[in-house]
Amino acid sequence: MKRSVYIFLNCLSVFLWVTVSACSHTSPPPTAACTPAPSPAPVIAQEQPRVPDEYIVTLAPDVDKDIIFKYYGSLGIKDIYALGGETFLLVLVNDPGPQKMESLIDAEERIVVVQPNLIYWDNRSGGIAK
């Protein structure tokens, strides 16, 4: 019995030594030679695929949607859909492009943002994802 206790204690001490030594090793700190990956160039909204003649317009709180007619009525407004809150989908007859749409409201604080209705899809092959 003494021998079995001695063997058990030896096995236990080896097991504990291996466990503790394995946990005490840490990975080396990163070296200064590592350079971060370059960040991708920002994509301009005009370069992204968008729905022609459609823009998302967000107004400041408590601003009536008639302000949209004031700035974009000359472009021929086909339809305006309320998307919720102060956000609207504006459908135009004559689309001047995103840069012109933004330049028309440069000094207007009641229109927070106007942006093209960008196309987002998961399956870029054009098929319907199931």
Domain layout of the chain by residue ranges: 50-118
Q: CA-based angle 103:110:75, to the nearest 5?
A: 45
pLDDT of residue 94: 92
Tell me how far apart the alpha carbons of residues 103 and 86 are, in angstroms, rounded to a whole number: 20
Tell me how far apart the alpha carbons of residues 68 and 55 are, in angstroms, rounded to a whole number: 11
Has domain 50-118 been given CATH number 3.30.70.1510? yes
pLDDT of residue 120: 79
Question: What is the rounded average pLDDT of the residues 72-81?
Answer: 94
SS3 66: helix
Q: Which residues contact 97 (CB under 8 A, 6 or more apart)?
A: 46
How confident is the prediction for the chain on average, in pLDDT?
77
Predicted TM-score of the model (pTM): 0.58
State yes or no: pLDDT of 13 exceeds 80.
no
CB 57 within 8 A of CB 87: yes
- Residues 39-53 have pLDDT tens digits of 555 545 446 789 999
Token pair belonging to 88 = 């609207």
- Residues 80-128 have pLDDT tens digits of 999 999 999 999 999 999 999 999 998 889 999 999 999 876 555 555 4
